[in-house]
Structure 1
Amino acid sequence: MAATPAPRKPSLGARLPGGPLAIWGGILLLGIVALVVTWQFVEPAPPRHVTLATGTAGGAYEQIGSEYADWFQDRGITLETVATEGATENWQRLLEGEVDAAIVQGGTAPPGADEQLEGLVSVAHEPLFVFYRDDALNAAQLLDSRPDTPQRLDTLSGLRIAIGAEGSGTRTLVLTLLEELGLAGSEALETDLLPLGGAAASQALLDGEVGAAAFVMSPNAPLVQELLSAPGISALSQSQALSFSQRLPYLAPVTLFEGVVDPRRNLPPHDVLMLAPATYLVSRKDTHRAVVQLLVEAEQRSQRVHLVGNGNEFPSLEQMDIPVSEEARYFFQRGPGFLHRHLPFWAASLVDRTAILIIPLLTIIIPLVRIAPAAVTWSMRRRIFRWYRQLRVIDEELGRHDVPVARLESDLEQLEKLDHDVSETEVPLSYMEEFYNLRLHIAYMRQRVRERLDRAN
């Protein structure tokens, strides 16, 4: 009775994993996964619309904002300027997230502002102009002094004074100076401090409704030039400017020299000593870095003429109430990078943002692509060797004399199945020689098995 053949493993043929398609597919999958993971760290695209809080209509802050808007427009971004009553309101709008950035006045930062906000760049000194009506001052107050003689701020005591609208930096500064003089708590004086600023305060002064008006404003502002040239209106030269600047570090003593505003009309008609806080840009900490870059660049490229100070100290990273943004410091000191100097803003921003994708490209995808050919070679040889392993088992059986007929029939069936699997397998051209050698060897083993079966029968 013939012995029962031992169970044989099924042919692995074309079902063997690890072919070229599987290897390249695995590399593609890993590359996609790496890119998806890395994409989570890609910075969002710059916003198409940015809001900047400026100040009262017709003021210097509005002019600065208009310059920035042109700069942003050239780079495909809309910068909307938001008119406000001044620095105090600007701080509030920033903290409430209503605007992305703002122009503010030194010395007006609210407590805790540095937790949400960052300074960007100092723009200029904005002097505190105090205009008064010549006929409103009592002769006893001025004695025999002329308008070009420096006077103390408390010379205006008893007058109706427009000190700036609620929410303005002018109002905050004037109240601080009055407090330094011990006058802010005077009930009689408080009733004469009117919440008027900008054009409203200027008109009230010209109409005689107030005796004096205060403005923190650039000498270039049309409103300032109008008041400097108005008959019967004089600018107070502040004799204590140096003293106040020592006590309040965010203030600087500046001189508006005779004729510097308009040499033809000799405006102002005499030197005016004033106090000047620094005007600077502030943004929210979550403001896109591209917006920070554009604001800093816009100020650095500004051709603005500074009529007070030495003209070389702005723009600057100094004279701010809150810490400077590290990104603003980087852009200020290094300027635009290579990409931004040679590409349109949108293209440079895109390349800059997606540069992080180079990491998986260099560390994962390229190395995998380089080892893929070797992996394919190893995979193909592994499959061929496994097929040859089956041939070797059958060859060893044929070397014995007592092989049962049933086992020979099983070997023949196995060889036919193996030949079918090999013929159905796609093989790269570089492996065709080994492929055809294998098929020849399979055919040779089939012939040997048939010969043994013929002899056994």
Structure 2
Amino acid sequence: MKKNVRQHFPRVVRDHTHAMWRDLAVSFLPFVVLFAVLAWLVIWLVDPAPPHTITISAGPHDSSFMQYAQEYRKILGRNGVTLNVLESDGSVQNLNRLLDPKQRVDVALVQGGVSAGRDTTSLMSLGTVSYVPLIVVYRGKGLSQLSDLEGKRVAIGREGSGTRMLSLELLGANGILPGGDTTLLPLDGLDAAKALVSNQVDAALLSGDSTTRALILRLLTIPGVSVMNFNEADAYTRIFPYLDNLDLPIGLLDLRRRIPPEPLHLISPTVELVARSNLHPAISDLLIEAAQEVNGPAGLLQKAGQFPNSVAREFRISEDATRYYKSGKSFLYRTLPFWLATVVDRLLVLLLPIAVLLIPALRLIPALFTWRVRSRIYRYYGALIAIERDAMRSSSEEERAKLVAELDGIEASLNTLRMPLAYADGFYVLREHVRFVRERLEGVRERAHARQ
């Protein structure tokens, strides 16, 4: 007999342990669902994952803008982000693409001066990345100001380029307007250089928006081609606030051949890396980091570390860019690979709401578990009370037999009830109460028989 009890005992423990784990699972389930929903809301709405692919609108294929964008693409690629580079006509088209919600463009290189009169509140700047000086090259010598180009053939850049927009504004300030005596041709880059060398144009206004610096340097080494000295550079920078004054010393471009042969004054807008306001902060950091690597070293027109910078120009500086320029990359992004850092960063965002809910939840779960287990016992007491009351009011043997049958049903149900062992005391108290009601019912039946 003892052997049978010992063999039966482990099975009983397993049955009741299974019931306990089931109750625990059901008690935890609402909180697990709540945390899952909260995590989804935080991750996808509050702190979405950075995209794996973004698009930049650069410039013509033979422009410094395109060169910058291609270098950015390589750097972002090292961090697992694909940068699609779109060729464009220049800054004007770049800005139009950013402002058009139908265009899938996230960031663009935009030259100063092209946003006048445009609503750019939906855009933000990641910083100024370079100068793009306006170079006026012409055949012959003696050109001292833009007004001297009146009546000549002048290449001013293709439609949609920042070079063209800047050229028209500066020429207009000197009294040269489209439709007048001056022939304004939509040529830039290599096309403008070829036209100048072949005497198809008398002058060309070139800038990095649509021309590489190497091409400008080659032009200056061609006999008979000169560059105009902006003697009124200070005046231009005051009339047009987006322009800067650049001074090139003798021989800066070529010491052996003394190019330029005399100090050269130039005017130059700056280029901003402009993005839509919904650009992910992690991508913003990557782009600024790429700009530091590409545009940060010292060059002919800038000192080391001069670019990129957070000087406000035509677009508001984004909060993420301001934070980056002040303190650099966060600890996570400095120490972990980019995509691992983004995952950890987003998980940290979850800690606060989880901590707020976890403490009261941990207090509530035991109470919920206890209520669920004891509710299995308590639900029988309503039936027991009803049977006991009906027994006191019953007047026929048939009614009392029906009450006994109900009581038998309760007891049969209890025989199949599984309870965690920690709550077995309540289970056995219930059985005692069932026995108590049965005894009262039997007492009523005996008294009824005695009266008969």
Whether TM-score is above 0.5 comes out as yes
Report the Cα offset of residue 66 of structure 1. Answer: 1.4
Q: Are the equivalent residues in 2 in contact too, given 1:130–1:213 (CA < 8 A)?
A: yes
Alignment of 1:296 with 2:288, yes or no, is yes
Partner of residue 14, structure 2: none
1:239: how far off?
0.6
Cα pair 1:59 1:223 within 8 Å, conserved:
no
Most deviating of 310-319 and 439-448 = 439-448
SS at match of 1:187: coil
Count of aligned pairs between the two proteins: 424
Work out which of the residue numbers 79, 83, 87 in structure 2 matches 1:83: 87
- Does 2:220 correspond to 1:254? no
Q: Separation in 2 of the partners of 1:293 and 1:78?
A: 15
Task: Say which of 114, 128, 132 aligns to 1:126.
Answer: 132
Question: CA 1:264/1:52 → structure 2, altered by over 3 Å: closer, same or farther?
Answer: farther
Structure 1 position 101 matched with structure 2 position 107: yes
User: Shift in Å at residue 430 of structure 1?
Assistant: 0.9
- 1:314 corresponds in structure 2 to 307
Match of residue 211 from structure 1: 202
After alignment, is 435-444 or 277-286 more displaced? 435-444
Aligned counterpart in structure 2 of residue 341 of structure 1, from 334, 337, 355: 334
Higher helix share: 2
The reply to whether residue 442 of structure 1 matches residue 434 of structure 2 is yes
Q: 2:189 aligns with which of 172, 185, 198?
A: 198
Residue of 110, 117, 140 corresponding to 1:111: 117
Distance change in 2, residues 1:222/1:328 (3 Å): same
Contact 2:43 2:49 (C-alpha < 8 Å) held by counterparts: no
Structure 1 residues 453 and 347 mapped into 2: Cα distance closer, same or farther (>3 Å)?
A: same
The change in CA–CA distance for 1:347 and 1:311 in structure 2 (over 3 A counts) is closer
- Is 1:27–1:365's contact at 8 Å kept on the other side of the alignment? no
Aligned to 2:238, what secondary structure does the other structure show? helix
Question: How has the CA–CA distance of structure 1 residues 455 and 20 changed in structure 2, closer, same or farther, with 3 Å as cutoff?
Answer: farther
User: Secondary structure of the residue that 1:131 maps to in structure 2?
Assistant: strand
Per the TM alignment, residue 441 of structure 1 is displaced from its structure 2 partner at its CA by 4.9
For residue 196 of structure 1, what is the amino acid of its counterpart? L
Alignment of structure 1 residues 29-108 onto 2, 5 Å: 29-35=33-39, 41-96=45-100, 97-108=103-114
Provide, for residues 131-179 of structure 1, a one-character-per-residue CA deviation record: whole Å limited to 9, x for no partner.
2223xx4xxxx3xxxxxxx932334444422222222212222222222
Return the match for 2:173 from 175, 180, 184.
Answer: 180
The amino acid of 1:243's aligned partner reads A
User: Does residue 367 of the first structure (1) align with residue 371 of the second (2)?
Assistant: no
How far apart in 1 are the matches of 2:105 and 2:33? 43
Deviations 1:402-453 (CA, angstroms, capped at 9, x unpaired): 9976676455434322222222222112112332343355346546655775
2-structure distance, mates of 1:280, 1:39: 31
2:297 and 2:303 in contact (8 A); partners too: no
Amino acid at match of 2:361: L
CA RMSD of aligned residues (A): 3.5
Structure 2 counterparts to residues 152-191 of structure 1, below 5 A: 152-184=145-177, 187-189=180-182, 191=183
CA distance in 2, matches of 1:72, 1:422: 68
> Which range moved further: 207-216 or 44-53?
44-53
Checking the alignment, whether the CA contact within 8 Å between 2:150 and 2:181 is kept in structure 1 is no
Tell me which residue corresponds to 1:270.
262
Cα distance, 1:33–1:296 mapped onto 2, change above 3 Å:
closer
Instruction: Determine the structure 1 residue equivalent to 2:227.
Output: 235
* Distance in 2 separating the partners of 1:187 and 1:455: 127
Q: Distance in 1 between matches of 2:34 and 2:89?
A: 56
Please say which of residues 296-305 and 381-390 is displaced more in the overlay: 381-390
Displacement, 1:26? 3.8
TM (norm. structure 1) is 0.79
1:282 maps to 274
* Cα displacement string for residues 362-415 of structure 1 (whole angstroms, at most 9, x for unaligned residues): 3446633442112222443455456467667878999x9x99766764554343
How far is the alpha carbon of 1:344 from its aligned partner? 2.5
Look up the SS of the partner of 2:51 in the other structure: coil
| Amino acid of the structure 2 residue aligned with 1:49 | T
Change (3 A) 1:151 1:309: farther
- Per the TM alignment, residue 245 of structure 1 is displaced from its structure 2 partner at its CA by 0.8
Does the Cα contact within 8 Å between 1:106 and 1:277 map onto a contact in 2?
Answer: yes
In 1, are the aligned partners of 2:298 and 2:305 still within 8 Å (CA)? Answer: no
Give 5+ residue unaligned stretches, structure 1: 1-17, 143-149
3-state SS of paired residue (1:237): coil
Q: Distance in 2 between matches of 1:31 and 1:81?
A: 40
Alignment CA distance shift 1:39-1:420 (3 Å)? farther
Check the 8 A contact 1:130/1:236 in 2, yes or no: yes
Q: C-alpha separation between the residues in 1 aligned to 2:95 and 2:259?
A: 33
Query: Which residue of the other structure, out of 271, 283, 305, is the alignment partner of 2:298?
Result: 305
Question: Structure 2 CA distance, aligned partners of 1:284 and 1:389?
Answer: 66
Change (3 A) 1:19 1:186: closer
Higher relative contact order (CA 8 A, sep 6+): 1
> Which segment drifts farther, 259-268 or 335-344?
259-268
Quick one: distance in 1 between partners of 2:130 and 2:357?
50
Aligned equivalents of 1:309, 1:66: Cα separation in 2? 21
- C-alpha contact 1:31 1:365 (8 A) present in aligned 2: no
Distance apart, 1:254 and its partner CA: 0.7
Determine the C-alpha separation between the residues in 1 that align with 2:38 and 2:51: 27
2:45 is paired with a residue of what secondary structure? coil
Instruction: Give how far 1:44 is off.
Output: 4.5
Q: Unaligned regions of 5+ residues in structure 2, if any?
A: 1-21
Equivalent residue, structure 1, for 2:12: none
Aligned 8 A contact 2:297 2:305 in 1: no
Task: Tell me the distance in 1 between the aligned counterparts of 2:92 and 2:312.
Answer: 17
